[in-house]
Structure 1
Amino acid sequence: MSNDETSAFYDGNAETYASRERRLPTKRLDAFLATLPAGGKILELGCGGGQDSAYMLGKGFDVAPTDGSAELAKQAEKLIGRPVTVMRFQDLQAIGEFDGVWAEASLLHVPRGELFDVFSRIQSALKPGAPLHASFKAGEAEGHDGFGRYYNYPSPDWLSQCLTAGGWRDIALSEADGGGYDGKPTRWLFLTARK
């Protein structure tokens, strides 16, 4: 989590948030999993209610789920039947451990000034050539939503420059219209890159 208000929202609304109607991003998940070795080890950053972890586990991958909210982690554990590590992105310490990192709608809560460091930590956690998938709510300036949650709202150019400066390879960005927990129309940025 990026700040106290964001953490308070997820801790206070964990059960509702985890059990909400959510369409699984199967197309993005399948595209990501297709780039990994069979049974590869995946770090999920910000697993929320655990649905994406459950899907990847069901496909035979070794998933290490994490979330910044202890209450959301408990909800995810109920779904997937394995421990979820409670961890802020800024505390990631793994070195060369993972075949891929999945961060769907989670890194968007990292303060802009800390995002470069978080990308660097993710890079360190990955094996050489391993992929990162992440998604963000697009925008031009950081801010908060109606629930008080912080978002970094990057533009494609800003995000691309951040990754290029960090030495990431095969950076690809796409955009699509969608929604979010707040029910408002949202422009989403989808990012893939390799260490």
Structure 2
Amino acid sequence: MSDRKTLDVYAKAAQAYADGFARADDSFHDPDYAAFTSLLPACAHILDLGCGPGHWAARFKAQGFVVSAMDASPEMAALAKSDFGIDVEVAAFEALEHKRSYDGIWANFSLLHAPRRELPEHLKRIHRALNPGGIFHIGMKLGDGEGRDKLGRFYAYYSEDELKNLLQNAGFTVTRTRRGNGQGLAGGIETYVILTAHA
């Protein structure tokens, strides 16, 4: 995520976002967390890609996984450090240049800020960064096209079939999908899809 307007929104709303999501009861995502972690070996190395305020990275770490974290927002990275002791690499998605470095990559509602034209290459980068058979979790909002929400954040929307095809084209095999509805920072209720895949 390198869109300046989106980063500015998160810079101003970082604390509110952390208070509303990082410290909230996120139990409705427990099945997604379990679907991801149950496929990983003990002490697996996980990358939280677009980690936000660090709450998922902290949960992985507490479970005994080795955790790396990336986010394009310096303000979110600072909260991850101060609240959870998570060191975050402040970088955009295209900075992911590792090869066969991770057992799992968790991209929970982060890649939706990437333009549609860029997502295929991001998925290829993620596939290259995973060890053979590595596990990938991606959460995205359902819809079509791209645009900005009322807060000014950039979003790209996809159908479930589009995402499955994009993942397949990047070399992934999708093993699980789940749809749900949730309220985001902007206040609206939107439908999302979670996909779990292996490299």
TM-score grouping bracket, smaller chain normalisation: over 0.9
Q: Which runs of 5+ in 2 are unaligned?
A: none
Native 8 Å contact 1:10 1:71 kept in 2: yes
One-letter code aligned to 1:61: F
Distance 1:161 1:170 in 2: 9
Native 8 Å contact 1:2 1:111 kept in 2: no
Who is 2:5 aligned against?
5
Native 8 Å contact 2:142 2:158 kept in 1: yes
**Structure 1 residue corresponding to 2:188, chosen from 181, 184, 191:** 184
Instruction: Indicate yes or no: 2:161 matched with 1:157.
Output: yes
Following superposition, the deviation at residue 78 of structure 1 comes to 1.0
Instruction: Indicate yes or no: 2:14 matched with 1:14.
Output: yes
Instruction: Indicate yes or no: 2:31 matched with 1:23.
Output: no
One-letter code aligned to 1:118: H
Change in Cα spacing, 1:173 to 1:82, as seen in structure 2 (3 Å) is: closer
TM-score, normalising length: structure 1 = 0.95
Instruction: Give identity over the alignment, percent.
Output: 37
Q: Which moved more, 1:47-56 or 1:169-178?
A: 169-178
Distance 2:96 2:45 in 1: 16
| Equivalent residues in 2 for 1:20-169, closer than 5 Å | 20-21=20-21, 22-24=24-26, 25-169=29-173
Q: Which moved more, 1:118-127 or 1:170-179?
A: 170-179
Distance 1:123 1:89 in 2: 13
Native 8 Å contact 1:45 1:106 kept in 2: yes
Higher fraction of strand = 2
Native 8 Å contact 2:164 2:174 kept in 1: no
One-letter code aligned to 1:194: H
TM-score, normalising length: structure 2 = 0.93
Distance 1:179 1:60 in 2: 30
Following superposition, the deviation at residue 152 of structure 1 comes to 0.7
Give CA deviations for 1:97-118 in whole Å, capped at 9, x if unaligned. Answer: 0000011111111110000000
One-letter code aligned to 2:75: E
One-letter code aligned to 1:97: S
Native 8 Å contact 2:102 2:131 kept in 1: yes
**For this pair of structures, how many residues does the alignment match?**
195
Following superposition, the deviation at residue 12 of structure 1 comes to 2.0
Distance 2:50 2:174 in 1: 23
Give CA deviations for 1:26-62 in whole Å, capped at 9, x if unaligned. Answer: 2211221111001100000111111111111111111
Following superposition, the deviation at residue 161 of structure 1 comes to 1.6
Change in Cα spacing, 1:13 to 1:170, as seen in structure 2 (3 Å) is: closer
Equivalent residue of 1:128, what SS? strand
Distance 1:170 1:184 in 2: 28
RMSD (Å) for aligned C-alpha atoms: 1.3
Following superposition, the deviation at residue 171 of structure 1 comes to 4.6
Distance 1:27 1:170 in 2: 16
Equivalent residue of 2:20, what SS? coil
